[in-house]
Amino acid sequence: RDLLGRTPWLDAARQARSAVLERLVARKVDVLAIDGDGRNAVMLACAADSVSPALIRRLLDLQVPADGVDVHGRRAVDVAAEAGRWAIVQLLDPAYPLPAAVSDGHGDTPGVAVLPDRPPLVLLREGLQFGQRDGLDALARLCGPEELGGLLHDAHLALNADAVDWLLRHGADPEVRDACGDVPMFALLSRGVEAVPALQVLLRHGVSPAGAGGLTRLLSACVQHDAASRGLEQFAVELLERGADPFAPSAAGDPPLSLAVRLGWLRLQQWLLEHGVDREARDSHGMTALHLATALGRD
Split at pLDDT 50, 70, 90, the class of 113 is very low
What are the C-alpha distances in Å from 132 to residues 128, 181, 197? 6, 30, 20
| pLDDT per position as a tens digit, 36-47 | 999 999 999 999
Domains of the chain in sequence order:
1-118 (1.25.40.20), 208-299 (1.25.40.20)
pLDDT at 134 over 90: no
pLDDT tops 50 at residue 141: yes
Work out the pLDDT band at 110, boundaries 50, 70, 90. Answer: very low
pTM metric for this prediction: 0.83
CB-based burial, 159-186: b 16+ in 10 Å, e otherwise: bbbebbbbbbebebbbebeeeeebbbbb
**Identity of the residue numbered 84:** G
Q: DSSP for 44-103?
A: HHHTSSS--HHHHHHHHHTT--SS-B-TTS-BHHHHHHHTTBHHHHHHH-TTSPPPHHHH
Greatest mean pLDDT range, 100-104, 112-116, 135-139, 165-169: 165-169
Give the pLDDT score at 105.
53
HSE-CB of 171 using CA atoms within 13 angstroms: 12
Q: For residues 135 and 104, which has the higher predicted lDDT (pLDDT)?
A: 135
**Of 5-14, 104-113, 130-139, the least confident:** 104-113
Output 23 or 132, whichever has higher pLDDT: 23
Instruction: Give the model confidence (pLDDT) of 41-72 as tens digits.
Output: 999 999 999 999 999 999 999 999 999 999 99
Distance, CA of 83 to CA of 19 (rounded, Å): 23
Average pLDDT of span 243-249: 96
Q: Is the pLDDT confidence value at 119 over 80?
A: yes
Give residue 154's identity as a one-letter amino acid code: D
Given its phi and psi angles, is residue 208 left (phi above 0), alpha (psi -120 to 50 degrees) or beta? Answer: beta
Q: Is the pLDDT of residue 114 over 70?
A: no
Rounded mean pLDDT, 260-286: 92
Look at 98 and 92; give whichever has higher pLDDT.
Answer: 92
Of residues 235 and 4, which shows the higher confidence score?
235
User: Tens of pLDDT along 10-38?
Assistant: 999 999 999 999 999 999 999 999 999 99
